[in-house]
Amino acid sequence: MPSLLFIFTSADKDLKGGDIGWYLPEAAHPYYVLKDFATIDFASPKGPNPPVDSGGVKLFAEDPLSVQFLNDETVKSKLENAKKLSDVRTEDYDGVFYVGGLGPVIDLATDPINIKLASEFYQAGKITSAVCHGPAALVNAVDKDGKSIFSGKKATAFSNAEELPHGTEVIPFMTEDKISVVGTYEKSSKPWEAHVVIDGNLITGQNPASSTGVGKAILEVLQRK
């Protein structure tokens, strides 16, 4: 069975001290698409118990898969035993998926261990995927020529139009802006609509609504292997 690594943020505060973390449906929805078709490990910069964004928990309190994820004993164990990024070996996995939430913009984007891992996954031709703010974890990853993995590629992430209503002063950059500098950024015709972009082994989703679609895109690649 293929092996996948879900990487979560360890950041629990934004630049203004507000509570953040990983965004619940952006982990739950892909997980339940993939769990019967791949072995899935969890990891984060600091390892066990990465912080969940409490706002996402409240907003998706009636979403069946999100509720299931929070109460799933297997998931609880995976979160409690999440690996530190420093203990991850890319050769153990067929791909990586970055869960969104504001956190990746704060820590994963500049974490040297994460940058090395993301670059290794991409350079090995393995699935390199992310949703919403998750692509922020990839903005400093490079290909074999030392260029951004977004260079010459199409990708998506949380859009400026979706970001602005929440305020931009709480994060160091907007992911759309970062991707647009080096690659071709694409988005849905209307904010908050699902949008998934596949370009080679790079799979990205725009927002929470795109989470299931990213999971399905990952699954399609796994089933072709």
Backbone Cα Rg of the chain: 16
CATH topology of domain 3-224: Rossmann fold (3.40.50)
Residues 6+ apart with CB under 8 A from 50: 8, 9, 10, 21, 22, 42, 44, 79, 82
In the chain, the N- to C-terminal Cα span, in Å, equals 11
User: What is the DSSP annotation of 166-189?
Assistant: G-STTSS--HHHHHHHHSEE---S
Entry pTM? 0.98
Round to whole Å and give the CA distance between 128 and 116. 13
Amino acid at 60: F
**88 DSSP 8-state letter:** -
What is the reported pLDDT for 165? 85
DSSP-based three-state secondary structure for 44? strand
Q: What is the pLDDT of residues 57-93, one digit of tens each?
A: 999 999 999 999 999 999 999 999 999 999 999 999 9
Residue-range domain boundaries for the chain: 3-224
pLDDT band at 157 (very low <50, low <70, confident <90, very high): very high
